[in-house]
Amino acid sequence: MIRQSVPFIRKDWQKKVEEIGFHFYEIDGLVYWDESVYYQFSSEEVDKLEAVTETLYTMCLELVEYVIRDNLLESFAIPEQFHDYVRSSWKREEPSLYGRFDLWYDGKGEPKLLEFNADTPTALFEAGVIQYYWLQDFDASKDQFNSIHEKLLEVLQKKIYRYVNGDTFYFSSVKETLEDYTTSEYLRDVAIQGGMNTAQIFIEDIGYDHDNKRFVDFDGNQIRFLFKLYPWEYMITDEFAPNLPTTDIALFEPPWKMILSNKAILPLLWEMYPNHPNLLPSYFSAPNTLAPFVEKPFFSREGEGIFIDTRFTASKKRTIYQKYCELPSFSGNYPVIGSWIVGSQPAGMGVREDATPITNNLSRFVPHLFCD
54-89 per-position pLDDT tens digit: 999 999 999 999 999 999 999 999 999 999 999 999
| Percent of the chain whose pLDDT exceeds 70 | 96
pLDDT of residue 303: 52
Specify if 186 maps to a domain: yes
Query: How many residues are recorded in the chain?
Result: 372
Q: Quick check: is 69 in a domain? A: yes
Torsion of the alpha carbons at 127, 129, 131 and 136, rounded to the nearest 10? 150
- 3-class DSSP assignment, residue 136: helix
Evaluate if residue 309 carries a pLDDT over 80.
no
Residue 247: pLDDT band with limits 50, 70, 90: very high
- Whole-prediction pTM: 0.95
Structural domain includes residue 295: no
pLDDT category of residue 313 using cuts at 50, 70 and 90: low
3-state secondary structure of 194: coil
Q: Rounded distance, CA 64 to CA 262, Å?
A: 11
Domain membership of residue 157 as a residue range: 2-262+327-370
Q: Determine the pLDDT at residue 372.
A: 83
Task: Tell me, yes or no, whether 200 lies in a domain.
Answer: yes
Q: Which of 264, 370, 320 is nearest to 49 (CA)?
A: 370
Q: What is the pLDDT of residues 5-17, one digit of tens each?
A: 998 899 999 999 9
Q: Where are the alpha helices (DSSP H) in 129-230?
A: 131-139, 148-155, 161-164, 178-193
Report the C-alpha gap between 28 and 243 in whole angstroms: 38
User: What does the pLDDT read at residue 27?
Assistant: 93
Evaluate if residue 259 carries a pLDDT over 60: yes
Query: 103-151: per-residue pLDDT in tens?
Result: 999 999 999 999 999 999 999 999 999 999 999 999 999 999 999 999 9
Look at residue 22 and tell me if it is in a domain.
yes
Q: What's residue 305's pLDDT? A: 56
In-domain check, residue 178:
yes
pLDDT for residue 312 is more than 70: no
296 by Cβ neighbours in 10 Å (0-12 / 13-18 / 19+) ranks as: buried
Determine the Cα–Cα distance for residues 77 and 1; give it in Å rounded to an integer: 39
User: 145 lies in a domain?
Assistant: yes
Domain count for the chain, please give it: 1
268: pLDDT confidence band, cut at 50, 70 and 90? very high
- In terms of Cβ atoms closer than 10 Å to its own Cβ (0-12, 13-18, 19+), residue 158 is exposed
165: in domain: yes
Chain centroid, CA 160 distance in Å: 19
Rounded mean pLDDT, 242-247: 96
Contact 348, 156 (CB under 8 A): no
